[in-house]
Amino acid sequence: MKTLKEIYLKIFNRDKYLVLKSNKKIKNNIEIYKNLIEEKILNIQNNIRNKKTLNFLHSGHCGDIICSLPVIQELSKNHKCNLFIRINKKMPRPYYKHPAGDVFIDQRIYNLIEPLLKKQKYIENIKIFNNEEIDIDLDIFRDMPININFNAPRWFFHITGIQVDLTEPYLEAESHEVLKNKIILHRTFRYRNNFINFEFLNKIDDIYFIGLENEFIDLKKEIKSLNFYECKDYLEMANIIKSSRFFIGNSSVAFPIAEALKIPRLLEACPEFPIIQPSGKDGFDFYYQPHFEKLFHYLNKKYTTTNNI
């Protein structure tokens, strides 16, 4: 609620009002940190320093879980790492056509991601959270009094104090038995870039969509030749992405998987929420149509030539 002073300055002295508003926000953020975050950060540092086994907690989204893996992988070099997933945690605001409804991750989505997480050798155990003792609560990135519009894996750097080289892979997958050397595409209804379209891909006949069927039907309006493959879980999705010629996607679970595998990849960057950013060789993002088409043709030429040698 605004004070009388704030109301007065907003009307009669805009510059002083903006200074007052900025100082108030700084004060509030410091109070949030002191009251809610600082003790948790200190406890996490103490747990990393003194414990040989670390229990991590994450409530989703799935893409956020993938983005936390670099830190877990790094800590696994000196610790036994267990990851507990809390299902059915309510989201504070609705997400358009979110596959888990009004929660970050439900039982169905957990069943999809569990095989992929179990594949990672640096994670000792993967389980649904059942009030186990937690050493590192990865969910606190949502409460930190900072603007989180930066590369999502780095959220977890600032929870743990662990800095990781994000140009290196942090996910394992195998070759897929059926889909190999195809262009793989995934696009959700969320985090779309409305500056671009996919119509120029109509002349390409070996593009496969690996998301939900309603997402496929929507994109097929632009790419008439688009093929559909239904993945049984996210481990199969990772195997398909690993076996692809290259991958195209927006900010959902599939692009973080491609990013973690470090396969050639194009990100449909989200102008409103740019939290996914490629790092390393042959990882590109785009906002505008000419750059999308240029980067697509670059990767298609490079890897069509490479794979035909």
What average pLDDT does the chain have? 94
175 is a domain residue: no
pLDDT at 17 over 80: no
169 is a domain residue: no
Q: Of residues 7 and 240, which shows the higher confidence score? A: 240
Pair 211, 280 in one domain: yes
Pair 74, 191 in one domain: no
Is beta strand 283-286 parallel, antiparallel or unpaired with respect to 246-249? unpaired
In the numeric block, the tokens 């398909």 are attached to 240
Q: Of residues 12 and 279, which shows the higher confidence score? A: 279
Report pLDDT digits (tens) over 242-257.
999 999 999 999 999 9
Band the pLDDT of 309: cuts 50, 70, 90. very low
Pair 140, 266 in one domain: no
Band the pLDDT of 13: cuts 50, 70, 90. confident
Share of residues in the chain with pLDDT > 70 (%): 97
Quote the pLDDT of residue 1: 63
172 is a domain residue: no
Band the pLDDT of 306: cuts 50, 70, 90. low
Quote the pLDDT of residue 307: 54
Which residues lie closer than 8 Å to 149 by C-beta, 6 or more apart? 273, 274, 275
pTM reported for the whole predicted model? 0.92
d(CA 2, CA 95) in angstroms, rounded, equals: 30
Is beta strand 125-128 parallel, antiparallel or unpaired with respect to 80-85? parallel
286 is a domain residue: yes
Report pLDDT digits (tens) over 38-57.
999 999 999 999 999 999 99
103 is a domain residue: yes
Residue 191 structural domain: 183-308
pLDDT at 228 over 90: yes
Mean pLDDT, rounded, for 122-149: 97
Range with the lowest mean pLDDT among 20-29, 31-40, 167-176? 20-29
Mean pLDDT, rounded, for 86-90: 97
**What is the number of domains present in the chain?**
2
Mean pLDDT, rounded, for 144-170: 97
Share of residues in the chain with pLDDT > 90 (%): 86
Long-range contacts of range 76-81, CB-CB < 8 Å, 24 or more positions apart?
76/122, 76/123, 79/48, 79/51, 79/52, 79/53, 79/54, 80/52, 80/53, 80/54, 80/124, 81/53, 81/54, 81/56, 81/122, 81/123, 81/124
Quote the pLDDT of residue 15: 84
Band the pLDDT of 172: cuts 50, 70, 90. very high
217 is a domain residue: yes
105 is a domain residue: yes
Pair 155, 190 in one domain: no
250 is a domain residue: yes
Q: What is the domain-level CATH number for residue 193?
A: 3.40.50.2000
Instruction: With beta carbons less than 8 A apart as the criterion, state whether 261 and 281 touch.
Output: no
pLDDT at 74 over 90: yes
Instruction: With beta carbons less than 8 A apart as the criterion, state whether 173 and 241 touch.
Output: yes
Quote the pLDDT of residue 8: 67
Report pLDDT digits (tens) over 269-281.
999 999 999 999 9
